Amino acid sequence: MPNPNLYLRAIQGQISPSSLAEIFFISLIDVPLQPQIHSKLMKRINEYKKLFTIEGPIVLKELKTTYRTLIKEWHPDKFQDEAKKEEVNAKSLKIIDAYHFLISIAPETREKGLAEYNSTTSESQISDYHHKGLLLEVSFVDGTTYEYFGVNKKLFIKFVNCDNQYRFAKRNIFNSFLYRKSKKDLELA
């Protein structure tokens, strides 16, 4: 839960609104990340927020409005020149990726899916997993898949080599890392 003293300090002008928003976001996701992982994740989040001209916390309604405007502006069919079309296509794919990422980690989305997430991670066993870079994708027997950001190779090796992967993940991964429901899962829904 966010620290109420931060709000008091913000009201008194001791903390800038953008710093407060970042602190509030990190406290909402309650993720103890290593500094380099935190830095990479925040860089990605800030890059996407800058693309959507979002300052402060992510509000789904504003995000959706901005997304529609950007997609209309950067739609590849609006351009005739092939070279420009390729550039615009890449930009529109980045906009789509940013939109889906920001929606998946928005506080409203996380709050809405919390009951399902808690049910899955406490009642369903792990059926499969994949690790690439700092991303761990875990599939559960009930058919859902979640992506965990910031899971380093050392922790992944411990996860793979432990005698009970579900228990290890429940203690060390499920509630310790920023997560989102996998795109694969959302496409099937």
Asked whether residue 42 falls in the same domain as residue 92, the answer is yes
Asked whether residue 98 falls in the same domain as residue 140, the answer is no
Residue 1 lies in a domain: no
Q: What is the pLDDT of residues 75-118, one digit of tens each?
A: 888 888 888 888 888 899 999 999 998 998 888 888 999 999 99
Q: How many CB atoms are located within 10 Å of the residue 113 CB?
A: 17
Residue 140 lies in a domain: yes
Q: What is the pLDDT of residues 111-150, one digit of tens each?
A: 999 999 999 999 999 999 999 988 999 999 999 999 999 8
Residue 8 lies in a domain: no
> Is there a contact between 52 and 60 (Cβ–Cβ < 8 Å)?
no
Asked whether residue 38 falls in the same domain as residue 99, the answer is yes
- Decide: helix, strand or coil at residue 106: coil
Asked whether residue 135 falls in the same domain as residue 101, the answer is no
pTM, rounded to two decimals: 0.67
Residue 9 lies in a domain: no
Q: Where are the alpha helices (DSSP H) in the chain?
A: 4-11, 17-29, 35-51, 60-73, 82-105, 107-123, 153-161, 165-172, 183-188
Domain that holds residue 89: 31-105
Residue 35 lies in a domain: yes
Q: Is the pLDDT of residue 169 over 80?
A: yes
138 - beta bridge partners? Answer: 129, 146
Total count of domains within the chain: 2
CATH of the domain at 60: 1.10.287
Of 35-49, 58-72, 104-118, 154-168, the one with minimum mean pLDDT is 35-49
User: Which amino acid is it at 95?
Assistant: I
Cα–Cα separations (whole angstroms), residue 119 to 65, 113, 116, 142, 177: 32, 10, 5, 10, 17
Asked whether residue 49 falls in the same domain as residue 94, the answer is yes
Asked whether residue 129 falls in the same domain as residue 169, the answer is yes
